[in-house]
Chains A and B, each alone.
Chain A
Amino acid sequence: DVKVTQSSRYLVKRTGEKVFLECVQDMDHENMFWYRQDPGLGLRLIYFSYDVKMKEKGDIPEGYSVSREKKERFSLILESASTNQTSMYLCASNGYTDTQYFGPGTRLTVL
């Protein structure tokens, strides 16, 4: 079974703090994704990575950056957290098929 893990289930940060969210997958997948999920808006793609050190912006990259130094690990960075970044963050990965497998999510609250 594919396993995608995320470093924290719940996180509370202050405005202006730098926040790191980490995601690890154990299936040697090439592609990894970061989404945010907000009520009524569905999942929106923040960033996508198709290989180590390779990334593409998604629909809402503003205020975020990413890092992929190893194939199994994809990090999302909030350089200076703001209250409008309070959300559920979901990491996903896929390999040779289009099916994306998701982690459990990190619920981030920015105060």
Chain B
Amino acid sequence: EDQVTQSPEALRLQEGESSSLNCSYTVSGLRGLFWYRQDPGKGPEFLFTLYSAGEEKEKERLKATLTKKESFLHITAPKPEDSATYLCAAIRTTNDMRFGAGTRLTVKP
């Protein structure tokens, strides 16, 4: 069965303390891997799409990487405004996007 698992469920960091979030997937025929950011009470906001193993994408303090079994979201020198829930999702077809349960990140000043 297709599955997307994110770890850890929650992560607390001090401002400036770099870390990584993990997204492991067992999705046959993967077409793409997505990362979204979701603030409390709001809809997910698109961050990155990765299509092939070895691909990397960066945006400000965030860098997403992809292997054949997992993706990482690396956060370098995080700030309190990076606090949010980060969701990953794997897509096989247009109407088949599987989401993980998310990692809730808190960055303390």
Instruction: Determine if A104 and B91 form an interchain contact, defined as CB atoms under 8 angstroms apart.
Output: no
Instruction: Determine if A50 and B41 form an interchain contact, defined as CB atoms under 8 angstroms apart.
Output: no
Judge whether A99 is part of the interface by a CB distance below 8 angstroms: yes
Cα–Cα, bound, A33→B100 (Å): 17
Interface mask (A70-99 → B, CB under 8 Å = 1, otherwise 0) = 000000000000000000001010100111
Closest residue on chain A to residue B44 by CB atoms: A102
Chain A interface, number of residues (Cβ within 8 angstroms): 27
Classify the secondary structure of A's interface with B: strand
Instruction: Determine if B49 and A104 form an interchain contact, defined as CB atoms under 8 angstroms apart.
Output: no
Residues of B within 8 A of A44 (CB): 99
Q: How far is the CB of A54 from chain B (nearest CB, A)?
A: 11
Residues of A within 8 A of B78 (CB): none
Q: How far is the CB of B39 from chain A (nearest CB, A)?
A: 10
- Residues of B that sit less than 8 Å from A by CB: 4, 31-32, 34, 36, 41-46, 49, 87, 89, 91, 94-95, 97, 99-102
- Residues of A that sit less than 8 Å from B by CB: 4, 9, 31, 33, 40-45, 48, 50, 56, 58, 90, 92, 94, 97-105, 107
Extra inter-chain contacts (18) besides given A31-B94, A43-B44, A98-B32, CB under 8 Å: A4-B43, A33-B95, A41-B101, A42-B87, A43-B87, A45-B95, A50-B95, A90-B43, A92-B43, A94-B94, A97-B49, A98-B34, A98-B49, A100-B34, A100-B97, A102-B36, A105-B41, A105-B42
